[in-house]
Amino acid sequence: MPQQIFFHQADRKLTLQHKNQLKQFITILFTQENKALERLDYIFCSDEHLLTINQNHLQHDYYTDIITFDLSTDTKQPTIGEIYISIDRVKDNAKLHNTTFTQEILRVIFHGALHLCGYKDKSKTQAQQMRLKEEEYLRKYVSHNTVS
């Protein structure tokens, strides 16, 4: 069954450049992480929309830039996931980290995919490893798209 990656908009509009290349690259990320992928849905939304999800599903009462749900029924089966991303948080974080919105949205998109590949970020060590992987895939994506 061919994997499928989709980008949706809840209550925020996001125009992603080079969607097909990005989808292909996310597929490459899963392949390089030795993780089979069946379906991945990215849903772009507002802070408020994501806060409601955070409160209702995770019992967390705070803003976040991303929530990742692994909907796979079996760890031996290809991954099925939903990744919710707050455009508001990404914009604020881009300013906070002195980077572009495009760089930050790509980082968060890869971050969610890496969660589905098994990476965690709860401890300091896990967060550092996650950050290194994000940087690795950001570099690969940029070089992949400037060569292509």
pLDDT in tens, 20-29: 999 999 999 9
Cα–Cα distance for residue pair 10/16, rounded to 1 Å: 15
66-70, strands of its sheet edge to edge: 4-9, 37-45, 79-86, 66-70
pLDDT digits (tens, 9 = 90+) for 91-145: 999 999 999 999 999 999 999 999 999 999 999 999 999 999 999 999 999 887 7
> Tell me, what DSSP letter sits at residue 62?
S
Predicted structure pTM score? 0.92
CA–CA distance, 8 with 96 (Å, rounded to integer) = 26
Q: Candidates 3.40.390.30, 3.30.70.1230, 3.30.540.10, 3.30.1360.20; correct CATH number of 4-147?
A: 3.40.390.30
Question: What 3-state class would DSSP assign to 11?
Answer: coil
**Average pLDDT along the chain:** 92
Give residue-wise pLDDT tens across range 74-94.
878 899 999 999 999 999 999
Which parts of the chain are beta strand (E)? 4-9, 37-45, 66-70, 79-86
- Residue 78: which of 24, 19, 27 has the closest Cα? 27
